[in-house]
Amino acid sequence: MNTIIQNILVFASVALAIGFLLNKFSVLPKKKKPISKQCGKDDCGCH
């Protein structure tokens, strides 16, 4: 019973670590903001 819980926790932490790395290095597609909402494109004064 203890090894089952330990294995589940290990696999979950590995999956989270791989997901974090894929997200950090932009392998996963990111949602892009519309151009009109991005800061700095049309001098919106948000700096």
Q: What does the pLDDT look like over 2-37, one tens digit per residue?
A: 999 999 999 999 999 999 998 888 776 666 655 555
Residue 43 belongs to a domain: no
At residue 38, does pLDDT exceed 60? no
Rounded distance between C-alpha atoms, residue 25 and residue 12, angstroms: 20
Residue 23 belongs to a domain: yes
Domain count, the chain: 1
One-character DSSP codes across 13-31: HHHHHHHHHHHHTT-SPPP
pLDDT top residue among 10 and 39: 10
**Domain housing 28:** 2-37
Residue 45 belongs to a domain: no
Residue 46 belongs to a domain: no
At residue 1, does pLDDT exceed 70? yes
Q: How confident is the model at residue 43 (pLDDT cuts 50, 70, 90)?
A: low
Confidence at residue 24, expressed as pLDDT on a 0 to 100 scale = 86
